[in-house]
Structure formats: structure tokens, C-alpha cells
Structure 1
Amino acid sequence: MNPFGIDFGTTNSVLAQWNGTEAEVLTIDEPPAEWAELGFDRVLPSVIGIDHGRQVSFGWGAKHGAAPTLGAVKRLFATENTVDIGGHQVSVEEAAALLFAHLRTASPGVSVDRSVVTIPANSRGLARFRTKVCAGLAGIEVRALVNEPTAAAMAYSVDATQDQNVLVFDWGGGTLDVTVLETIEGVFIERASKGIPRSGGIDLDEAFAAAIIAHLPSRPSWSGTEQAQFRLEVERAKILLSTQDETNLRLPDGRYFPVARELFLKAIDDRLEEVRQPIEQCLADLSIGPNGIDQLVMVGGSSKIPAARQLVSDLLRREPATGCDPMTAVAQGAAIASAILAGQLDKDFFVATEHALGTIVVDDGHRQRFSELIPRNHQLPAKATDGYLPAQPGQRDVRVQVIEGDPTKPVDHEDNVVLKEWVVPVDPTRSQQDAAFTITYEYNVEGILYITVVDQLTGRQMLHDDVSFGVTKDRTQLVEVARRVRTTMETRTVDGTPARSVTVAVADPEVVALVARARTKVVPFVDDTEAARLESICVDLENAPGSALAECRDALDAALRQYSYLF
């Protein structure tokens, strides 16, 4: 069986396979002629549509069809539970799994059972894990998750005979990633990475659309279908303006509106300027200048914009490498990684962390601080241990929190996210020194973090758990989602029953911790009646609107108080 690679993109997805001599991009959809001639003949739009009869469609059929659609599902991995597609409530996991399931058999005569899947280098741990889960729900065993810039570097440099530093500028539909890799005797090693999570073609289209509407004689009042048509025309005009100075954009009423490259560049000027920051940060992290980069690789549809290519080339004082299609290079690199893992290619690769991992401590001034265990840009797999004390004498327990982000910023900064937390009992009769404990993090290449807490005095293991499921409700629900996906792909019709949310909202770490405590520490150990009562309170909290969130949180906290001995 040929090794496969999947670029599960925000706006477009690509499937490639290693055929024994090269990474071959497979045909997985048939775009309209006007899009095929723009280089979109080998990509599948990451779009799912569900019409009023519950019929499901994918790719170009969904993007150009009349049914309500969902795009950019990958952007929802870090935050959302469920989404509405034409009045049908679908969990994010189910929507993403359906796209993976379509990719699995989209190429004629091909069934993808195992694959390397790529992810943005700046993805959080939760988004990485959900990517792997969703592929699995679709019947695809993920051999490894590989950062998209690393895959791109492999596609461009797999035949390189000299050691070199490669800077990959990956600007696709949803994210901007900049990664510096070192190739040493056929081994690809990530050295530094920095990105902007919400910067890509989607954002450029929105800025361009707003600029066009501002120049129309009167503000339009278009229907939902007409707005969708307008967005498609804006996207196509953006692409055309990479090769010509002006084009005519077809408006929903049939009229044409002339748009120039100058208008587009003015609309995206802020987005263009911000691409400097991750490049400069990577160079600063490695204490090198532009001359320390031997090769510049630019991938992703947005990297085709001439102004972007010129800006990056000027910063690094070199022209981008040629030889691979920026639209398909990431999938080709994933297929190469898959071939390496299958033993069909004598190369190797290593990935690194984009965000630091640590725990939250209280300093002498009673302020919370990010205590770093695994730093940013650390090669995976990684393992680190540090020692800690209870904050005050006589404590009965300590709260151990896993935080991911930037240790140089305040704990409550938006860049810092609490992934999971536990309340660990300690002996209140001991002195602070005697109550000391160690925390060990082990982070593997699949994005799963294991945490172990050990009593330093006795050597007793106080906690051993993982953050693999992050805030996932329970694994039995995943089995149900997998069943629904199989049924949908067989019938091409979604189940009429609204899908249950598979995850807890991650916006409020306190809510995440409280629900996780109920479901993992209490519900499994009480009788069925009490378990049902607690589960009902958990569901109420998960579905509570902002105005009722505090009340529902307090209700669950009160219900759990009598079981504090189980925490």
C-alpha cells in the first residue's frame, strides 16, 4: 500500500501518495473550468453543505451549490462545540470527520486507511488532538501529525544533498506559519517557529470584500445566496489580481464592477505588514540574520500574492525556491513523511513545540506566574520535571494546572490557555518543605501530554493522567459520532437527530475544570440516579448562555461539594 499524506486545510485540502519515486498529488474533485485554469484542479475546498432535505455535499459541489455550507471547520477546533449548517446542529468533530471521510475515498480507486496528516505549526494542543480524533472517526489511522511548514520543507528539499537552513513561509487560507528548519544528512529538524493563528485567505477576502462594498454606489441588500455568490467572486478576483492589474467582478445583480490590484493591496495592507513579525521573531530566536537562511520556501495560496512574495524576499534577501506547487507542497511533504515512517525512504524528521508548556504557581508576592516546563521550539518528544511546594502551610490540596502559551506574558493573557487542571490532596500536617512534590510533563509527537505528580518525601505517585482528550466529554460519544459519519457517507444524508456536542467550550477554564472534575472524579463512582442528575447539571452548564453561565457554574460547584473527598 502506498503511503498517503493529507493536507487538511482551512480552505482547501489535498491528498498525496508516495508512489515509490515521488510524492504524487491525487485528483480528488473536479472544479469548474474557470477555477481549474487558476490552479485549483488538484484541491478539494474544505466545505460541507447540507440542504433542507438533509442531503450532504462536499468540495466544489458544496462551494458552488445552493445548499447552506460550512467552511473553515479547522478554525473551530480551538473553541467551538457545535455548528449550524442550514438549520442542522452538527458537532465540530462530526463536520470535520465527514470531510476526512470524503477525502478517504474521493480519489477514484483509492481508499485511505492510514495517513500522515498536517497541522498548522501554531496549533494548540487541543486543536492538534481534535485533528487526530476526527481523522480517526472517519476511519483514517493517523501515522503522525506533522507541522505544515515541516512538510513543505520536505517537499522542496527531500533531494537536497547539502545541509542547509530552510525558512518556510506558509500562508494559506486560515493561518500564517513561519518555521526555520535545519536539514542535516537527510534529517529535517525544526529549530524555530512562530505564527499568526487567524491570518490567511479568508481574512484577506473579508478585507477585500469590505473595500469593494465601500466603493459601490449604494450599499447592497443581498440575500444569503447572493452574498455567498459575491464572496466567491471576491475570492476569484483576488486570485486573478496576482497575475493582472485589473479585473471585472460580477455582482449578484448581473452587473460588473472593475477592481484593481491597487484597491486589493490597500485593503490588505495591515495583514501584509504583520507578516514581518513572525519572520523577525524566528530569526531573533536563533540569533541569526537573513544570511543565516540558505533557502526560502513559500507555500499556501496567499503566498502567491506578488506583494507578499516581494516583501518576504526583501526581508530575507533571496528569491523563493521553485520546483513544487505552493498549493500542493504540504500534502506532498506529508506523503514523504508517511514514506519515511513506512521505511520506504531513508530520511527522518523531528518536530518542535510552537508554544511553551508549564503550570501556574504563586510567587512571593502572591501573584500567579507561568512556571515553564517545556519551552517553545523544544524538539518532540520532550520530557521535563520540576519541583514545587504548596503555596501556604497546612494546605489540604494543591491545584495543578497545565498552561500552554507564552511565559513572558501574564497568566491571564489571551495567548495563554489552561488546557486541564486537577486538585491533588496533600498532607496538611507536614511542613511546606516536607510536602514538596515534582511535576513531570511528557509530550509525544502525536500531541498528547502526560502529567505525573510525585510526592518527593515518600515517592508516592499522586497523579498520573493525560491531556490527550483535553475537554472532550466522554469517549462513548465519539463512538456514536463515528457511527453517524459512516451512516452519512453510506446514505449521503445526515441524521435528522441533532448531534450532541462532543466537547465543552474552552473559553472559560474554570468551567472546563469543573465539568471535567464532575465527569472524571465523581460520576463514575455514584449510583445511576445521582450520575444522571450530575450529568444534567453539566449539560446545563455547557449550554448556558452568557447571562446564565455563573448561575449554572455555581449550581455544579454546589452539587460537587459533598463529594470533595473524591477529587
Structure 2
Amino acid sequence: STLTLTFADGEANVVASIKRWMGTNKTLDVQPRKVTPVEASGDILKHLRHMAEEALGRSVTQAVITVPAYFDDAARNATKEAARQAGMEVLRLINEPTAAALAYGIETQSQGTIAVYDFGGGTFDISILKLENGIFQVIATAGDTTLGGDDIDHAIALYALEQLKIDPATLDVQTWNKLLSVARMKKEKLTADADVILKWEGVEVHLTRALLEHLAAPFVDRTLQCCESALMDAGLTPKAMTSVVLVGGSTRMALVKQRVAEFFDTTPLDQLDPDLVVAYGAAVQAEALTRGNSDNLLLDVTPLSLGLETYGGIVEKIIHRNSPIPCAVAQEFTTYQDGQGAMKIHVLQGEREKVSDCRSLAQFELRGIPPMVAGAARIRVTFALDADGLLKVEAEELTTGTKQEVVVTPIAGLEITEIERMLRESSEHARTDIIERLLIEARVAAELAVAEVKAAITKDAALLKPGEQGMIEAQMGTLNAACQGTDRARIDHEVQALNAMVGPFAERRMNQAISGALTGKNVEEVK
């Protein structure tokens, strides 16, 4: 194509690997103007729409679009906006590995557990799917959005420069892009040939398939590490896979096929063109959505957990990572202060236990909560993820029916590489995070216990016996001091000691309340 030739000739004004920037604020300098990732993607989709219209001889206004499995809400919204700018309605967004599995499920009537190994030019994704009775369900995903065939091209180019004794830093952007294009062509040729010659500035560099496999091995190792992560999430072993599907041009390499076969202990499926299988799956889904003649149900999963902030700055997960979508989950919450008339709903994304370690998606306030004692109000919060992975959060006060909601469409999205960092850090800090969460929960419980006791004393101080108030206040001081430290067991112990000390006073309060409720009533009324 003209674009490929232009890129090969070293033209700097060429956009490449734009998916990596979807959902971010990055701008691209494409003379004579600057464009956003959404605008660049919109131009690409518009060109594809025109190609389809020319081939079909009719107008095209709808599409099923595939995206990397690790696209977050911002990236998915950006993709839909790009389609809108291209004049198309998005019927559905599908994860690329899921689309490939759909294609193979239709083509071969596969049943069982399938690993979809998607090693493309710019990204790597692994998805573990269950296919049974026409139902496709993704049960785990993992990946690396900065890992792909481009990295192998880069390694070949650096090797060639090393042999030529040329410092890479001396190459301008156009020259470097031209060398990368040459490296890519030689890589593809080595798929069939044992050796090739790379010519650069009149000098020849001898490349062999063995050398290519040596340069590519570290990147293939990284893909298999992602596979291990996905299998761990799914609670499965490599041998549990009934089949493995290869997707993406990089899977044409003999080394990739060999290493994948060894890892999963099975010969991977590659009957369909790895460059076309994702598009084939999207076409199958589009036919099902427009003609309704498919018996196959496609269930995707969300790549990151979604939750909200609770008192103390900790996160309560509502929809967990790898939950099938579309889905809706509701959970009830309550107030922590007497007479609390509003509640802040802070929506978060991530796997960590503290708010400060997760990504903030949106905030809003639910007002109009009737005055009640702490813990009496009932606030139902519903998280609803649609088939495109877009989130709507609704909070409802159940007594009055007051509602507030927000649809998460962040303008400044999370860079895709940050998703991988979030997952990696959640694993690295899992133990310390849960210890810190339990400590925070203990401090919150202590704070609420002290507040309840103070409120009780203020209301019914007359029921206290001589010296009792001083003892209780001293114990509250001891508890507050314990909360300043990090010994959770001590905090729990001091809370129990406070409860035991307040017990007789609480019993007298209860007796008085019962007596007041029964005053002036006869036996029949009480019954």
C-alpha cells in the first residue's frame, strides 16, 4: 500500500501502532497539523469504511470493532468515538482474542477450554476461554501492550547496526524507520528461508533463522510469562487446554509455534490465517447481531476490578477482575455518622486495597438521605457493565427512592501499559496490602466504637454509676493510643476491653428503653 511504501521510505509523518495511545491525551505531530489518537483512528476507520463500500457496492454505517483485551473504559470509549467520527455505529466492541476464538469455534465446532495466543506487531494478549454448548466465555486474560513483532524488528535492526559499527543514536527518525522496515521484511523472509542478506548503505549483513530465533527468544519468553499469569487467574494448568489458537503475524515464526507447543503440550491450531482470524470472528459476530442466525453466545470479561471507596480510604470491589460481561452487581452500604444527609460515591478501578493505589474513575454525591442514626440508612449501589465494557454506576437511598448515577466516560484515560503495571503491583504487594487493609478496618471499627460510646454517654449520662465514666473514658484513651500504632491485635484487644467495660451501662440503657416503650400499655397491646 501507499502507506507501507511511505513508511518504508522513512517518511516521518506516518502514524503507527496508534492503538497503544487510545484513551490518552497524547497528540501526534502529523504535518501540517497535530492529531489525537481518536482522530487518527477515525481516519483509518473511515478509509476502511470506504474500502468496504467499494467492495460491497453499498453504504456501510455499522461495524463490529475488535480491540486489545486490555483496553480500559477510556480506550474503549475512544474507539467508539473514532468510529462515530468515521460515520459508523458500533454494534459491539469485541476483545481481539475473543473474536479469534469465535472464528475457530464456528469453523471447527470446538468444545472445551481454549487458549488464544495473540502475538501481533505491537501487542500480546492471552485469553483462556470455555467453549461449551455454543457458549463462549472468557475466564481469564493477560497480556503486554508493549510487546510484539515490532520488538523483534527492533532487535534485528540493532544487531545489523552493531555489525556495521554504526551508533543507533546517529540515525534520524526517517532513517531509523526505513531500517526497521527492512528488518521486518527480512524477518518475514526468514520464516521460509534458512538465511537472508540484509543490505544497508551498500554493506551486507548475513542473517540466519537461528540468529533470528536467538534475538526473538527473550520476547517469546515474556509471552509465556503472560500465559502463566492467565492460567493462574483461571486456576488451570497448561495441560488443561483442549486446544491453543494462534493469532497475529508473529505466530508464523517457527520458534513461536515450537515454544507454544512445548508450553501447552499440544500442537497449536493455525488453520486460519493468523492475520485474518480476528476479522473473521468480528464478521461472524456482526452477522449474528444483524441477522440473528447464530446459536453462539459470546461472554467477555472485564480486565480490571471495579469498586468504590469506603470509610477509611479502602476499596470495596463490586465487580471483580475477569468477571463475565455484560453484568450488573448491586451491594448495600450505610452511613457512619448520625444524621448523615449525603454520601460520596467514589468509583475506582484496580486490584489494590487502598484508594490511593487505585485509579479514580468518577465521583458524585447522593443527597437526600433521611436523618437517621449511623448504620440505619440503606444505600444500594449498582455497577452495570455493558457488552462494550462501559460502566454505569447508580446509587439509590431505599427509603425515599432518591437516585443518582454516573456513566464513566473519562476524557483523559489510563495508558494501556499502566494496566499491566497495576496488575503486577497488585501481585507484588498482595501481602502488605491485605495487612494494611485489616489494620485500617480495625482502626475504623475502633473509631466507630468510641463514637457510639461518646454518644451514649452524652444522652444517658444519668445511668452511669460513680466512677464508671472515668474508667470508660480512660479505656477510650487507651484505645485511641493503640490506633496510633500498627499493632492490629492490640487495637482489637482494646476494642473488646471497651465493649466489656461499657456492657453494664449498655444493659441499663436497654432496660430503660424497654421500660419506656412499655409504659402505659396493657398486656394485650404488647402482644
Q: TM-score, normalised by structure 1?
A: 0.66
- Partner SS for 2:60: coil
AA of the residue aligned to 1:383: A
Q: Are positions 1:445 and 2:390 aligned together?
A: no
Larger radius of gyration: 2
Q: What 5-or-longer segments of structure 1 have no aligned partner? A: 1-30, 32-56, 472-503, 510-567
Structure-2 change in CA distance of 1:333 and 1:341 (3 Å): same
Q: Indicate the RMSD between aligned Cα atoms, in angstroms.
A: 2.8
State the match for 2:410 in structure 1: 470
Taking structure 2 as the reference length, the TM-score comes to: 0.71
The residue that corresponds to 2:252 in the other structure is: 304
The one-letter code sitting in structure 1 at the alignment partner of 2:231 is L
Change (3 A) 1:261 1:210: same
1:379 to 279, 299, 324: 324
Letter in 1 for 2:389: G
- Which 5+ residue runs of structure 2 have no aligned equivalent? 419-527
Give the aligned partner of residue 174 of structure 2.
Answer: 225
Instruction: Say if 2:283 is the partner of 1:283.
Output: no
Distance 1:284 1:443 in 2: 24
Q: How does 1:395-544 map to 2 (within 5 A)?
A: 398-407=343-352, 411-413=355-357, 416-425=358-367, 430-461=372-403, 463-467=404-408, 469-471=409-411, 504=412
2:126–2:226 CA contact under 8 A, matched in 1: yes
For residue 324 of structure 2, give the secondary structure of its aligned residue in structure 1: coil
CA distance in 2, matches of 1:198, 1:314: 24
Structure 2 residue matching 1:154: 3-state secondary structure: helix
- Would the alpha carbon gap of residues 317 and 103 (structure 1) be closer, same or farther in structure 2, given more than 3 Å must change? same
CA separation of 1:113 and 1:310: change in aligned 2, threshold 3 A: same
Residue 401 of structure 2: SS of its match in structure 1? coil
2:339 is aligned with 1:339? no
Where in structure 2 are the equivalents of 1:256-295 lying within 5 Å? Answer: 256-295=204-243
| Residues 1:235 and 2:184 aligned together | yes
Aligned residue for 1:109? Answer: 55
- Match of residue 350, structure 1, among 282, 298, 306: 298
Q: Distance in 1 between matches of 2:400 and 2:341?
A: 17
The answer for the alignment partner of 1:19 in structure 2 is none
Q: 2:18 aligns with which of 49, 62, 73?
A: 73
Distance 1:277 1:426 in 2: 50
In the aligned structure 2, how far is the partner of 1:285 from the partner of 1:67? 42
The one-letter amino acid paired with 1:354 is T
Q: 1:388 to 1:222 in 2, by over 3 A?
A: same
Post-superposition offset of 1:158: 0.6
Q: What amino acid maps onto 1:225 in structure 2?
A: Q
Please tell me the residue identity of whatever aligns with 2:199.
R
User: Higher helix proportion, which one?
Assistant: 2
Aligned equivalents of 1:63, 1:400: Cα separation in 2? 51
Q: Taking every aligned residue pair, what percent have the same amino acid on both sides?
A: 25
Is the 8 Å Cα contact of residues 192 and 282 (structure 1) preserved in structure 2?
Answer: yes
How far, CA to CA, are the matches of 2:338 and 2:32 in structure 1? Answer: 55
- Range moving further from structure 2, 211-220 or 332-341: 211-220
Letter in 1 for 2:171: W
Q: CA deviation at 1:326?
A: 0.5
Q: Distance in 2 between matches of 1:353 and 1:150?
A: 10
- Measure the CA separation in 2 of the matches of 1:83 and 1:289: 43
Per-residue deviation, 1:423:
4.2
- CA 1:216/1:139 → structure 2, altered by over 3 Å: closer, same or farther? same
Within 2, Cα distance between the matches of 1:443 and 1:391?
28
Please identify, of 339-348 and 138-147, the stretch whose mean Cα deviation from structure 2 is larger.
Answer: 339-348
Cα displacement (A) at 1:391: 6.0
Q: Residues 216, 395 of structure 1: CA spacing in aligned structure 2 closer, same or farther, 3 A cutoff?
A: farther
Name whichever of 120-129 and 151-160 sits farther off: 151-160
Counterpart of 2:388, as a letter, is E
Q: Residues 394-432 of structure 1, C-alpha deviation per residue, up to 9 Å, x if partnerless?
A: 76754423222325x65555xx43222224447696443
* Alpha-carbon distance in structure 2 between the residues aligned to 1:114 and 1:308: 36
Give, in whole Å, the separation in 1 of the partners of 2:315 and 2:224.
27
- Matches of 2:385 and 2:295 in 1, distance apart? 23
Aligned counterpart, 2:124: 176
Shift in CA distance, 417/132, structure 1 to aligned 2, threshold 3 Å: same
Q: Specify the code of the residue in structure 1 equivalent to 2:406.
A: D
Which residue does 2:162 correspond to in 1?
214
User: Which letter does structure 2 place at the counterpart of 1:248?
Assistant: I
Between the aligned partners of 1:136 and 1:377, the Cα distance in structure 2 is: 28
Offset at 1:323?
2.0
> Given that residues 126 and 419 in structure 1 are in contact (C-alpha distance below 8 angstroms), is that contact kept between their aligned partners in structure 2?
no
Residues 274/342 of structure 1: CA separation in 2 closer, same or farther (3 Å cut): same
C-alpha separation between the residues in 1 aligned to 2:287 and 2:413? 37
